[in-house]
Chains A and B, each alone.
Chain A
Amino acid sequence: MMHFVREALNRLRSFFRKEPLDRELNAEMASHIEMAIEENVRRGLPLEEARRHALVQFGGVQQARERHRESRGLPWLDVLTQDLRFTFRTLRRDRAFAIVAVLILALGIGANVAVFSVVNTILLRPLPFPAAQQLVRIVEKNPKTGESSKTYTADATQDFQQQNRSFQSVSGYFAFTGPDNFKLIGGDQPAPVTGILVAEGFFQTLGVRPPAGRLFRSEEFVQHAQPVALLCYPFWKRQFGGDRSIVGRTIDLNNTAVTVVGVLPDTFDFGSVFSPGAKVDLFTPYIMDDFRDDGNDLALIGRLKPGVTLAQAQSEANELFPQLYFEHKHAEYGKGYTGRLTGLKEYVSGKLRRSLVVLWCAVGLILLIVCVNLSNLLLARAAARSKEFAMRDALGAGRGRLVRQLLTESLVLSGAGAILGLGLGFAAISYLAHQGSIALPLLSMVHVDGAVLAWTLLIAVGAEVLFGLAPGLRISSGNLQETLKDSGQGSSASRKHDRMRSALVITEVALACVLLVGAGLLLRSFLRVLDVDLGFEPSRAAAISVDYDDGRNAAKRAAIWQEVVRRASLIPGVEAAGISDNLPMSRNRSWGIKAKGGDYDGGKFQGVFVYIVSPGYLKSMGMRLIEGRDINWADLSDNQNVVIINETVARKLWPGQDPIGRIALAGGTEARVIGAIADVRETSAEDDAGWQMYLPATKKFGPEGCYLVVRSKLPPGTLATSVMRTLRQINPGQPATEFKPIQNLVEHATSPRRFFFLLVSIFAGLGLLLATLGIYGVISYSVTRETQQIGIRMALGATQERVLFGVIWKTLRLAFIGISAGVVGSLVVARLIASLLFATAPTDPQTFAAMVVLLGAVALLAGYLPARRASRIDPIIALRTN
C-alpha cells in the first residue's frame, strides 16, 4: 500500500530534521496546554487549579514527546547510533585491547583472504578462455619419463586431427623450447627473447582474440612461407612501448626479417597455464613439414565439440591412438601411441588440489584460533565490566539491550578487523601475483574479485558470531544482580567463568599443536628434498645461453664450441667449463636407446633424456664419472659416435656387465659407450633419476641449444661480466642473455614445495604466538583474581617457591591437556596430508616430540611471568585489597 512507502520516506526525512521538528512539537504542546488552561479558567477554576488540571489531563509531557519521536523518525537507527557511539567510547578507553583485538583479527582475516584468492584462482575459477570446460590436454599414458612421452610427432598429430570426431579442433605447441631461444636485433644491444612455436589453430582452439592485428593464417604454416610472429602483451608493452603500429612491421629475429601480424591480449599468459614460472615473449608458427623428422615434440590440446563428454572422447582416443604411425616416411619405426585426455583445468591445477586444500584448512585453523583468543579476551573484559552491566540492568536497560550492546561491540571490532584484513590480504595477493619465481600455475592471475570480497564478508560475520557469542551468552545466563553484591572473589559464577576460559585456552593450544605438527612434517619433507643427492653440484655453477652462427656445418660448430670452452676455461677463477644443449630440471626431451642386438620389453617406449654436450660439461656440472672417460674434442671433430650413459641405463641394458665398449642404438644411431656417470635427478629432486645419455655434438647428434656452464668459486655477478666479455670477443652479436646460477634451477623446481611449507610455517608460528598469549592471559588473570587467596596462603607460611611452582603447575596442567588433545588431532590430520610428504612418515616421532617440547616450553614461559608475580605478592597488601 502506498502509505507504507510514503511513511518510510517521511520517517527518513524526519530522521534528519530532528531539531526543527522537536521545536515545532514543543510549540504545539505549549499551545495545547495554554488552551487547556484557558478552558479550565473559563469553567471557573482558579488559575493554579486550572494549570494543574490541564497538566494532569495532558499526561506526561516527556512521555508524549518520546511517543511522538518513536512514531516520527527511525527509532532503530537512533538506537544503533547510540550503541555505536557508546561502543566507540568504551573501546577508546580500552585502547590497548581494541588495537590488539583488531590486529589479530586482521591477521586472521587477511591470511584467509589471501589463501582463498589463491584457491579460487587455481582451483575454483575456470580457465580464462571461453567455454573453458571444453578444453582438453592430450597426453601419453606414461607421464613419468619426461616431456617426450607427453608429446606427439607432426604426422601423428595431423592424422589424429583428420580422424577424430570428438573435437572441434586439435592443436598444439612445440614442447622443447628453452628460454631465450631467439635473438631480437635492433637497438643498441641484441636482446634475448623467448618464443614458442605453435601449431595451426592453437589460439583459435583456446578462443583467444587479439586486441590488435590478427592471428596466424593457414598459409603461414607452409614451408618457406614468410616468417611471422604474434607478440605477447607484456613484451609488446616493454619492447615496443605498446605502439600499435608495430603490427605489420618487421622485426629482426636471429637475422631473419619476421613480420608482426598481431598482439595477444594481456589476459593471456601462456606460462601460467602451460609452463608455470616461464615467461614467453612471442609466438611463431610451427611448420609441420620442418619437423617431420624431429620425433615427438608437439604437446597437444583440443576443444571438444559441444555435447561430447570427456569419456566419449577418451574411448575414441583409445581406438585411434594405437593406430597412429610415428612417421609416415619411416613406417618401420612402427606405430602405437596411447592418448589420455584430461580436462585442461584439471591438468593444470589438479596436482595441487591436495596442497591447496591443506593450506586452506591451515588458514581456517588460524582464524579459529583467533576467534577463540578474542572470545577469551572479550570474556575477560565482560567479567571486568560485570558491575557496570549490573548497574545498567538495574537502571532499566534490560538483558536484551546489554546483549545487543556486546554484539555491537564485537561487530565494530569484526568490521574494523575485516577492513584491515582485506587490505593486508590485498597486499599479500599483489605480492604473490608478481612472484614469477614460484612455479605455480595461474599464480599470476591471482587477484581480488567479487568472490573474494563475498568470502571476506562471510568470514567476518562468522568470526563475529563465534567470538561475540561467549560473552553474550554469559551475560544472558548469569544473574546480574548477584554481581552487585558480590565482592568479586571466588563466587561460583566466576569459577564457571574460569572453566570456560580454561576450556578456550586448551582449544587454542590443541589447534596450535596441530598446525605446528603439520608445519614440522612439511619442514622435514622439504629438508629431505633438499638433501636428495641430485647427482650434480648445483652450487658454484652457472649457465649462460650462447649464440653463434655455424652455418649448419657440424665441423664449424665443433670449432666454435671448442673455442668458447677454451676461452671460458682461461677466465681467472674458472675451474671448469663445458657446453650442453639442455640443462637438468628445465626442459628435457628423450629419444630411445637400446643395446645393439639387445631387445628389451618389446613395444614399450622407454624415453631416455638426451644431452648433446661438449667435453668439460660433466666436470662443470659436478657430475660424477664412475667408469670410463669423458668425451674429448677428438670425438667431436672426428664425428665419433660415442655416448656416456648413467648408472640406471647401464644396469638395465647390460645387467651385471661392464658397459664400456658396448654398442648402443641411441635414437637409431649406433654409438659406443665410453663412460658411465652416477644418476642425475632430471625432472625434480623428488622423482627417480630416469634414463640419461650424453652425446657429443657431432654431425649425427644435433644440439638444440647451447648453454655454456662454468664452475667457479667466484660469485656469479663478477663472473657474468667476464664471461659476457669473452663471448662477445668471439661473437660480437651475442645478446645479453642472463647468467643463471644452476642453484636457481634447482630452487625453481622445488619452489612450490617451499612455498607451501613457508606459508604453513607462518601460520603455525602465528598460531603458536596466539596460543602463548592465550595461556599468559588466562594464568595472569587467575593470579590476579586469586591475589587474596595467595596472600592468605603466604601469611600462613607458604614459601615463595611453593607459590611459584603452584602457578607453574597450573600452567603445565593446562598445557598438558591442550597438547594431548593436539597430538590426537595431529595424528588424524597428518594421515590426511600424508600424500604431500616426502620421505617422512605421517607419524614421524621426532617431529611430534619436537613440537610437543616446543609447545611445552613456550607454555612454561607464558606461565612463568605471572607465576613470578604471584610469588612476589606481599601478603599484607594482598589481604588489605579487595
Chain B
Amino acid sequence: MSEPKLDLLQGTLDLMVLRTLEAMGPLHGYGIARRIEQLSGNVVLLNQGTIYASLVRLQQRGWIAAKWGTSDNNRKAKFYSITKAGQKQLARDTAYWQRLAGVMGRVLGMQK
C-alpha cells in the first residue's frame, strides 16, 4: 500500500507550474500537468483538471502569458510561458520555500 498522496494547497500548485514553465519553456496545459506528475513520482494527488484554475490565476496576475498554437501532433492547444514578473515571483517564492523547509526540518528533527 503506497503512502497516502499529499493534498496540494493552491499556492504550491501555482509555484510548481511556474517552475515547470521556467525550466521547460512554453508548454500547454496537458504538458505541464504530465511533467508535474512525472516529477513528483505520482506522490502528489493531482486531478489534472485542477491545473486550469491555477493557470488562469497565474495568467490574471500577469505571471504567465498564453497563446494559442499547435502541438507536436498538429493539435490546437493553448501554450503558456513564464513572464519576467513571473520569474521574479518564482525566485521570491523559491527562496521562501527553501527557508521554510530548512526551518521545519530543524524544528521537527530536534532531539530531546
Which residues of B sit under 8 angstroms from A10, Cβ to Cβ? 59-61
Q: Which residues of B contact A (CB under 8 A)?
A: 28-30, 33-34, 47-50, 52-54, 56-57, 59-63, 71, 73, 75-78, 85, 89
Q: How far is the CA of A2 from the CA of B60 in the complex (A)?
A: 11
Which residues of B sit under 8 angstroms from A7, Cβ to Cβ? 57, 60-62
| Chain A 14-35 interface 0/1 with B at a Cβ cutoff of 8 Å (1 = within) | 1000000000110111011011
Write 6 A-B pairs (CB below 8 A) sorted by A numbering.
A7-B57, A10-B60, A28-B78, A35-B73, A35-B75, A71-B56
Size of A's binding interface in residues, CB under 8 A? 31
Which residues of A sit under 8 angstroms from B52, Cβ to Cβ? 25, 28-29, 64, 67-68
Q: How far is the CA of A60 from the CA of B54 in the complex (A)?
A: 15
Q: How far is the CA of A274 from the CA of B34 in the complex (A)?
A: 87
Among A7, A11, A35, find the residue whose CB has the most chain B CB atoms closer than 10 A: A35
Which residues of A sit under 8 angstroms from B48, Cβ to Cβ? 32, 36, 57-59
Which residues of A sit under 8 angstroms from B57, Cβ to Cβ? 7, 71
- A3-B61, A3-B63, A6-B62 given; A70·B53 CB < 8 A: yes
Q: How far is the CA of A63 from the CA of B50 in the complex (A)?
A: 8
Are A59 and B30 in contact, CB atoms less than 8 angstroms apart? Answer: no
Q: For the complex of A and B, list the 6 residue pairs with the smallest distance between their C-beta atoms, beginning with the closest.
A: A59-B47, A64-B49, A67-B53, A10-B60, A3-B61, A59-B49
Which residues of B sit under 8 angstroms from A474, Cβ to Cβ? none
Q: How far is the CA of A10 from the CA of B30 in the complex (A)?
A: 24
Contact of B60 (CB < 8 Å), options: A14, A29, A36: A14
Q: Is A61 an interface residue when CB atoms closer than 8 A count as contact?
A: yes
Q: Report the minimum CB–CB distance from A834 to chain B (whole Å).
A: 67
Q: Is A72 an interface residue when CB atoms closer than 8 A count as contact?
A: yes
Q: Report the minimum CB–CB distance from A647 to chain B (whole Å).
A: 92
Name A64's closest neighbour in chain B (CB-CB): B49
Are A58 and B61 in contact, CB atoms less than 8 angstroms apart? Answer: no
Q: Is A38 an interface residue when CB atoms closer than 8 A count as contact?
A: yes
Q: How far is the CA of A609 from the CA of B10 in the complex (A)?
A: 90
Q: Report the minimum CB–CB distance from B64 to chain A (whole Å).
A: 12
- A71-B57, A72-B56 given; A31·B76 CB < 8 A: yes
Q: Report the minimum CB–CB distance from A749 to chain B (whole Å).
A: 72
- A3-B85, A59-B47 given; A38·B56 CB < 8 A: no
Are A27 and B76 in contact, CB atoms less than 8 angstroms apart? Answer: yes
Which residues of B sit under 8 angstroms from A2, Cβ to Cβ? 62, 85
Are B76 and A6 in contact, CB atoms less than 8 angstroms apart? Answer: no
**Which residues A29-77 have CB closer than 8 A to chain B?**
29, 31-32, 34-36, 38-39, 57-61, 63-64, 67-68, 70-72
Which residues of A sit under 8 angstroms from B78, Cβ to Cβ? 24, 28, 31
Contact of A58 (CB < 8 Å), options: B47, B53, B59, B77: B47
Are A35 and B47 in contact, CB atoms less than 8 angstroms apart? Answer: no
Q: Report the minimum CB–CB distance from B11 to chain A (whole Å).
A: 12
Name B72's closest neighbour in chain A (CB-CB): A35
Q: How far is the CA of A61 from the CA of B62 in the complex (A)?
A: 26
Q: How far is the CA of A61 from the CA of B53 in the complex (A)?
A: 12
Q: Report the minimum CB–CB distance from B82 to chain A (whole Å).
A: 14
Are A71 and B53 in contact, CB atoms less than 8 angstroms apart? Answer: yes
Are B47 and A38 in contact, CB atoms less than 8 angstroms apart? Answer: no
Contact of B71 (CB < 8 Å), options: A35, A60, A70: A35
Which residues of A sit under 8 angstroms from B89, Cβ to Cβ? 3
Which residues of B sit under 8 angstroms from A59, Cβ to Cβ? 47-50
Q: How far is the CA of A28 from the CA of B32 in the complex (A)?
A: 13
Which residues of A sit under 8 angstroms from B71, Cβ to Cβ? 31, 35
